[in-house]
Structure formats: structure tokens, C-alpha cells
Structure 1
Amino acid sequence: MFMACAASFPLLYDAAYRIVEASKSEKNTEWEIFIVQLRNELHQSSNWHISGGKLNYGVEGSITSISQYEDKLRRQINGQGHEVMLQNVKKAAFALEGGKLYIHVTFQDGEEGTSLYPFNQTSS
């Protein structure tokens, strides 16, 4: 009986490792998609500002905001809607400094993601 358990341990360990790695890969993909989508939208926007922990910017006459809601980053237009852009977020912070927008996210598992986007001072 001991031999059967001992022999199956490497298989169980390998399966658990693969599940953890797949989860990390999925989160990294979600982070990259979030950053690409946000950069594409920011490229077409104006009047960036941060208020109450929210990133706000104008797109085609509307005000779009990105903010943390529970464990998610969500996108709203004119204060309405609930488009989830990123999940499993423990804390998110936005900052406009030195001609750049900084985005820093701490995920619930403790991993962190940071991105920056240069902006034109005249449009913020």
C-alpha cells in the first residue's frame, strides 16, 4: 500500500504543478490583454485625470472610467455599466507623473503587475 501511495505522489505533484502554471499563464494573458485594450483606448482619448482612485478620460464625448470594484477592475462610461477588465485584484493604483500614466495592480495571490503609458501633457 505504501509503495502505491509513494509511486502516485510524483503524478499528483506534477498534476498540481500543471494546474498552478496554467492558472499563472491565464492571469498573465488577462493582464496583457487588459494593458493592450487600455493602451488602445487611451491612444484615442483626451483629458486624462485621476479622481477618487479612478482613472478617467474622454472618448468621443463620453467620460470613461477605470476603477476597482470589489476584486475586479471595471470600465464604466458616464458612470454606468460594468465591463470587467481584470479579475482577482487585491489593490489597484493609478498615477500621472512625469508625463506618464502608471498602473500598478496587486493580485490576490500577491503577484504584482505594473505598466506605464506616456501621454501628451497638453491632452491631460
Structure 2
Amino acid sequence: MILRQNDGFTMIEMLFSLLILMLISLFVVQLFSIIQTQVEAVNKLHPKEWEVFTMQMHQEIRSSKSQVVRGSGLYLMSGDQLSSIEQYEDKVRRRVDGKGHEVILQNISKFQVKKDGSVIVLVVTDKAGTTFSRSFHPYFKDGNEADE
């Protein structure tokens, strides 16, 4: 009996090759989608990050006895500690008594603090150009009287 030699692919081999090709292309498309999302997120400020920042600032400002705006920084006196909130490179950081480096916001191109009477307004622009703003009303004004 003479064995017949196959010079080409069989149908099963061809289907198996096609299956492998389709699986590889599926993963490559997903990989590109993930990479594109990561690149877009680098320049943007996430809304949840903004909400956490504003809640932290609300608590910090309400518990402070004195609030001073100097340049683009906010200086809060709580007890015997002086906390500073200021821009450092592309981040907003918090320092206590001139020490430490607690990053509380990132991907920032501009950080501004304004004081209108007793109201403190924080304006943040992210690297994508989106501007966020929030007003805060301190419990204690500069004269240490309670806000009603």
C-alpha cells in the first residue's frame, strides 16, 4: 500500500489557523483600546478625584480658625498648625508647617485661590483645558467669629 503524501493544508488545519488569527486580532484591538484610554486620561482630571478634593478642602477650610490667600496658595491655621495648599509642578499639594508633600490633586495646569469677603473660591484647570471651580464658606472668619 502506498501512503499518500499531503502537499497542502487540510480543511481542519485551515480553520484552526483562522481561529488563531482571529483570537490574536481580537486581543490586539482590545490592547489598542486600553492604550488610547490611558493616553486620554493622562491629561484629564477625573471627576471623582475633583469630588474627593473638594470634600477634603471643605473639611479643612471649615475646621480652620484663619484663612489667608497669598499668591496662588491657601494658608489655613488650625490650632497650632499651618497648612498650605499650593500648586507644585502639575500637582496641588498640602504641607503642614512647611513640611511634607501630600499630593491632593494631579494633572493640573493652573491652580488659583480667590477670596471674596469670607468666601474662598478655588479654580483649577487641568492639562486638557477643563476648568473646575468651587466656593467654600469657612465656619470661622478671620476675626474668629462663627459664621451663621
| TM-score, length basis structure 1 | 0.78
Distance of aligned partners of 1:26 and 1:68 in 2 relative to their CA distance in 1, 3 Å threshold: closer
Q: CA deviation at 1:26?
A: 6.9
Match of 1:19 in 2: 37
Matched, 1:48 2:48: no
Alignment CA distance shift 1:61-1:42 (3 Å): same
More strand by share: 1
Query: Match of 1:41, SS?
Result: helix
What's the counterpart of residue 101 of structure 1?
Answer: 120
Determine the structure 1 residue equivalent to 2:144.
Answer: 123
Q: Per-residue CA shift, 1:63-91, capped at 9, x if unaligned?
A: 00000000000000011110000000000
Q: d(CA) in 2 for partners of 1:59 and 1:101?
A: 16
Tell which deviates more after alignment, 66-75 or 35-44.
Answer: 35-44
Rg (Cα) greater in structure: 2
Moved more, 101-110 or 113-122: 113-122
Distance in 2 separating the partners of 1:118 and 1:48: 11
One-letter amino acid of the counterpart of residue 72, structure 1 = K
| 1:79 pairs with one of 91, 98, 106 | 98
Number of aligned residues: 115
Please say if residues 62 and 137 of structure 2, whose CA atoms lie closer than 8 Å, have aligned partners that are also in contact. Answer: no
Identity within the alignment, %: 28
Instruction: Give the counterpart of 1:30 among 49, 52, 68.
Output: 49
For structure 1, the residue ranges without an aligned partner over 5 or more in a row are 1-7
Unaligned runs of 5+ in 2: 1-25
Deviations 1:31-86 (A, max 9, x none): 10000011011111111011132100111211000000000000000111100000
SS of alignment partner, residue 46 of structure 2:
helix
The one-letter amino acid paired with 2:83 is T
8 Å CA contact 1:48, 1:123 repeated in 2:
no
Q: TM-score under structure 2 normalisation?
A: 0.66
